[in-house]
Structure 1
Amino acid sequence: MGTSAGRGGPGTSAAPPPRPGPDGAGAARPTSRDVARAAGVSQATVSLVLGDKWAGRVSERTADAVRAAARELGYRPNLAARSLRLGRTRTALLVVPSVTAEFFAGVYTGAARAAGDRGFGVVLYPSPGGTGPARDPFDPARASIDGVIASSMAAGALAAVRGGGLPLVMLDSGPGDPAAAATVNFDAGDGLRQAARHLLGLGHRRLAHLAADVDSWTFRERARALAEEARGVPGAGVRTERTALSVDAGRRAAERALTGPGPDPRPTALVCDDDVLAAGACKAARRLGLRVPQDVSVTGVGDLALATAVEPELTTVRLPAEAVGAAGMRALMAVLDGGAADDTTLPVRLVTRGSTGPPGG
């Protein structure tokens, strides 16, 4: 495997001419033997390099020569044969609560791109029950997939899908889950922490939290971080309005927050758990004759397409959905290769736009 791999060097055979196909016309598909002959190495070395298992066993020069020979010959590995040898289907299952939400489309895009780099496919499966339990789309699951990635789900909801032993990587579901081989999370609390600091820095003291009525680690972390930031500023407080995740539900929750009975003055800022809730909050403000941000500031989470479709444009927390999908797929690949994957936390960032300003500005 340490064979010198320079093209045309000593002991290197020239690439074989195209061979006739079965019908006598055209060239047959090149084989790993053809690549080995062109690069001056063994077929085992070709297998190591093209299977991405060469590090520490083959020199970088040899690996480059094998890849160059494969490109020149138009060689493509027989993934079906390799899968049979390894007992794998080269398919991962991505479970999400919804296939229509823009965020989960981003997660899928990142996961599929990382999978494609390794010759894997991704099956996207929405859990009919949202956070669970998810029904098994395969019979049995182990015969159809190699591993599972689940985004924004509870591990207990995935028992049927996992087939009782498939490796599982959890995304945006909380750290240190014992059921998961690895977890990939956003810094869930930091998004609303940044939003709260921004609003408090502008002078807001009466905040209303339009909190998603979903019992998940992510939303609990957001509520905790928001309350913690407000407690640190004299005179600041947070009122919570729970709501379903839709524009209309967000509008109704915002109307309750802005017109609710009681002695407390109207909040000057609405902190929303999602951009769709923030869009509903802006709608409520307009219906009540309030201006955004002069009378009430609004923040969201997600930085979805609608964040720049509303007027004024939305101050929101950007979540790198594609990055979390790609990191989850790379973690699953590491586990399938027999290694260990570290738990990962990805940073988030507040994007300030026109929907926030000083109170009474």
Structure 2
Amino acid sequence: MPPTRAATGRPTSRDVARAAGVSQATVSLVLGDKWRGRVSPGTAQAVRQAARDLGYRPNLAARHLRLGRARTALLVVPALSSEFFARVYTGAAEVAAAHDVGVVLYPSPEGVGPAPDPFGPARAALDGVIASSMAADALAALRGDGLPLVMLDSDPDRAGSAATVNVDIAAGMRQLTEHLLALGHRRLVHVAAAVDSWTFRVRAGALATALGGVPGASVHTEPAPLSVAGGLSAAERALTRPGPRPTALVCDDDVLAAGACKAVRRLGLRVPHDVSVTGFDDISLATAVDPELTTVRLPAEAVGAAGMRALLTVVDGGVAEVTTLPVELVTRTSTAPPPTPA
């Protein structure tokens, strides 16, 4: 027989059931978010209100034992220092909290390379893995035997049986390129992240495709480490190469774009009067620099939230759909028509 408030000093599910005028089974369905299609919305609301009025808190440890689950998910990201991945974590954690699931955040020491298993025998304490910007085959040690997996910002053709959540990277780069072409730019430089990952390969391919067939249009690629210094060096190389100076620098992310803006100024030029600069991601740095960056806004929180919802679906025995989230071109003052030839 379950304890009552008199025995423990705390309200129990029996107290909630009595206050709401329902069975304990109904309380379990409602507070476990399993009531839809089995309990009326009015009854569900009455149970939740009774729980709030009584100050009832479920015994999560007992619930987890009954479910046979750890109620813990692992989120693997390339770096903790990235604002984008911090926002991915925020979105994932909000959905997880609503379902009484904990999130363990683990930065892969090798970035997009193989991730060593930080848990060993404790892997059984995980219900599943969400991995961002990593190859599916790099997670063999983390997954163990069939641990549910959701891939974020990753090649869906290489994800195998894993569910995938991506943003429409190609559409974002296409919108950015069309914006520059509409302004009149034809000599472009791609300040490309020197990282071998699907997301950056998609950006390069989309840029080349958008420029294909445009009379007089050309693009030169300058690889760069993902840092302000990397963007600065790559932009300096691009702007001092022999031949006509490029009129626009298309950077793979906002950090590289910040470095590119520094390079323009160091060479005695101005953004955007002499050279336009674009970023990608729309992190806070995009509006901290002057002029503010034209960039592509990626819905990082929505990526994390969709990833966690997909993982919960798979853990519950469902099939998660392939999800592609839209992006948005944000035009600011770092882009303008190219300078008129002297």
Alignment TM-score, normalising by the size of structure 2: 0.95
RMSD, matched Cα: 1.4
**Amino acid paired to 1:259:** T
- What is the match of residue 97 of structure 2? 116
Paired position in structure 1 for 2:186:
205
Name the residue aligned to 1:214: 195
Q: CA deviation at 1:49?
A: 1.1
1:296 to 271, 275, 281: 275
Deviation at 1:180, TM superposition (A): 4.4
Structure 2 distance, partners of 1:344, 1:177, is 15
Name the structure 1 match of 2:56: 75
1:159-210: CA deviation from partner (whole Å, max 9, x where unpaired): 1111222100000012244444310001011111111000000000000000
Secondary structure, aligned partner of 2:279: strand
Q: Residue 169 and residue 141 in structure 1: after superposition, are their counterparts in 2 closer, same or farther (change >3 A)?
A: farther
| Structure with the higher helix share, 1 or 2 | 2
- Per-residue CA distance 1:272-305 (angstroms, 9 max, x = gap): 0010100010010011111100110000001111
Does the 8 A contact of 1:181 with 1:335 survive in 2? Answer: no
Does 2:183 match 1:196?
Answer: no
User: CA 1:219/1:178 → structure 2, altered by over 3 Å: closer, same or farther?
Assistant: closer
Q: Distance in 1 between matches of 2:79 and 2:68?
A: 31
Name the CA distance, whole Å, in 1 between partners of 2:159 and 2:288.
41
Residues 135 and 158 in structure 2, CA contact (< 8 A), matched pair in contact too: no
- Over alpha carbons, which structure has the higher Rg? 1
1:275–1:180 distance in 2 versus 1, CA, 3 Å: farther
The one-letter code of the counterpart of 1:322 is E
- 62, 86, 91: which one aligns with 1:105: 86
> In structure 2, how many angstroms separate the alpha carbons of the residues matched to 1:20 and 1:161?
43
2: distance between equivalents of 1:242 and 1:162? Answer: 33
Q: Which moved more, 1:155-164 or 1:122-131?
A: 155-164
Gap regions ≥5 residues in structure 2: none
Say yes or no: does 1:266 pair with 2:245: yes
Provide the rounded CA distance (Å) in 1 between the counterparts of 2:181 and 2:47: 59
Q: Does 1:19 align with 2:6?
A: yes
User: For the structure 1 residues 228 and 336, does the alpha-carbon distance in structure 2 shift closer, same or farther, using more than 3 Å as the test?
Assistant: same
Letter in 1 for 2:199: T
| Structure 1: runs of 5 or more not aligned | 1-16, 22-27
The alignment partner of 2:195 has SS state of: coil
Contact 1:94 1:124 in 2 (8 A): yes
Cα distance, 1:104 vs. partner? 0.6
* Partner residue, 1:152: 133
Cα deviation, 1:123-155, whole Å, max 9, x if unaligned, reads 000000001210111122532211100111111
Question: 2:224 matched to 1:243?
Answer: yes
CA change 1:41–1:142 in 2 (3 A) is: same
Question: Is residue 2:262 matched to residue 1:283?
Answer: yes
Q: Share of identical aligned residues, percent? A: 74
Distance 1:218-1:141 versus aligned 2 partners, 3 A rule = farther
In the alignment, what sits opposite 1:359? 338
**Structure 1 residue 18: deviation in Å?**
5.8
State whether residues 278 and 298 of structure 1, in contact with CA within 8 Å, keep that contact through their aligned partners in structure 2: yes
Pick closer, same or farther for the CA change 1:342–1:134 going to 2, 3 Å: same
Of residues 282, 285, 290, the one that matches 1:311 is: 290
Distance 1:98 1:325 in 2: 15
SS in 2 for 1:63: helix
**Offset from partner CA, 1:258-277 (integer Å, 9 cap, x none):** 1113xx41110000001010
Query: Contact 1:205 / 1:237 at 8 angstroms: preserved in 2?
Result: yes
1:130 counterpart letter in structure 2: G
The one-letter code matched in structure 1 to 2:331 is T
Among residues 336, 340, 346, which one is paired with 2:319 in the alignment? 340
Alignment match, 1:41: 22
**Aligned partners of 1:131 and 1:153 also within 8 Å:** yes
Residues 1:226 and 2:213 are matched in the alignment: no
Partner residue, 1:5? none
Q: Counterpart of 1:274 in structure 2: which amino acid?
A: D
Pick which of 226-235 and 268-277 moved more. 226-235
Amino acid at match of 2:131: A
1:11 equivalent in structure 2 = none
* Kept in 2: contact 1:155–1:180 (CA 8 A): no
Residue in 2 that maps onto 1:32: 13
Distance 1:62 1:120 in 2: 25
Matched, 1:143 2:120: no
CA–CA distance in structure 1, aligned partners of residues 185 and 310 of structure 2: 41
Instruction: Find the aligned partners of 1:79 and 1:180 in 2 and give their Cα distance.
Output: 31
| SS of residue in 2 equivalent to 1:242 | strand
